[in-house]
Chains A and B, each alone.
Chain A
């Protein structure tokens, strides 16, 4: 009876494993980028704050470029630029590098806001108590500043986690790319996209809620 050839196979349990593996890769690349981007971003934020006019004339416009050009263009550009200068990077390294700089550009402003949020009299007081510059930074500025900008930082981190889906243009198989592959094979777009979306949502929603609640509690 059924004589026509069928190229598509149904959604199997093993495919869930494939999606899970891809989800782990999404977590890996966004975790690495967020961690290294935050370190770099805090450094940039400190440079912006201490650099004053010099910082806002040199570093700020450069960081601004990363916020004014779509991430997807940055990824394609860097992926094609790396071989020109003799680097041979795989999609993962390339994606992680671009996401790190992107995160750093976003975190830099957040970090500068955090330092600026600490009232100057407070810092003068700590200095006149005999603290060194770095002690003041460590024990006064960091705890107070971090509190004010922590919710903003969570927003940036979640944004980067969601934007990591774009690394798929380089051929890195993360969650969204994996679901696209499965859709091509099974022709069940709705089910598979729902699973992928549910994963992103399950990751992002509780963290966003937690940050909201924290913000409310701290602002009281």
Chain B
């Protein structure tokens, strides 16, 4: 083994890498929030929608779950280019991740909705709430509590998936690392540090979600 590790350039660029880590976190959180909203709508569409609505929901969900995330990113990146629609790298990653998250979350939400007794809905309606009110004030809060843990997992997946941004030219943590690594050819050192940063981000998410659960579910 006659390889000399050079960590100095990595530590010099460490502040930039950490900053890129925040970009990763930002795109993951954003895609998660939009994905949750889409996921709830998709789940309701799949359960109660008319035939065309249900068809849209089912095909979105199944496409998101049965094709690689990278394929979905490429689709938003190159595929839409065929129609003259060119998204910025940030939007490509955001759309791809949101599409994927919404598909997986919709199935979680569907399980959650089915676990809520039907009487909850009927009671809310007979108290004079409209259907929308009943969903927003009665059903969805309970569902969110039920699917809290799958949602945490999905959040972790979103962070890990955002690393694919590297392949569509988005400068989040992985993209930034590749940029620096190709400047110095210290590929191993740079990616080793990036792996550590990802590990810290994931542990941070899991830890804070546990704290949040502690605060939210102490009834």
A residues at B contact (CB < 8 Å): 65, 68-74, 76-77, 80-81, 83-86, 158, 162-163, 165-166, 168-169, 176, 179-180, 183, 188-191, 193-194, 196-197, 200-201, 204-205, 208
Contacts and interface: CB of A to CB of B under 8 A. Distances in A.
A193 B1 contact: no
A123 B213 CA distance: 35
Interface string B51-72: 0000000000011011111110
A192 B183 CA distance: 33
A70 B40 CA distance: 27
B191 interface: yes
Contact of A69 (B75, B79, B198): B198
Given A77-B191, A162-B68, A70 B163 contact: yes
B192 interface: yes
B166 A72 contact: yes
A68 B202 contact: yes
Contacts of B166: 72
Contacts of A76: 187, 191
A208 B163 CA distance: 26
A217 to B, nearest CB: 18
Contacts of A163: 68
Contacts of B74: 176, 179-180, 193
17 contacts: A65-B199, A68-B156, A70-B174, A73-B163, A74-B195, A77-B191, A85-B1, A158-B66, A166-B70, A176-B70, A179-B74, A189-B78, A190-B82, A190-B83, A201-B66, A201-B67, A204-B66
B interface majority secondary structure: helix
B194 interface: yes
Given A201-B63, A201-B66, A205-B62, A193 B194 contact: no
A162 B191 contact: no
Contacts of B174: 70, 72-73
Interface residues of B, number: 36
Interface string B148-190: 0000000010001101101100000010000000000001100
Contacts of B203: 68
A163 B187 CA distance: 22
B3 interface: yes
A189 B163 contact: no
A183 B82 CA distance: 11
A189 B163 CA distance: 22
B68 A189 contact: no
Contact of A84 (B1, B160, B167): B1
A197 B71 contact: yes
Interface in B1-26: 1, 3
B187 A80 contact: yes
B111 interface: no
Contacts of B199: 65, 68-69
Interface in B181-219: 187-188, 191-192, 194-195, 198-199, 202-203
B83 A77 contact: no
A81 B71 contact: no
From A168, A189, A194, A204, residue with most partner B Cβ within 10 Å: A189
A165 B68 contact: yes
A169 B167 contact: yes
Given A70-B163, A70-B174, A193-B78, A84 B3 contact: yes
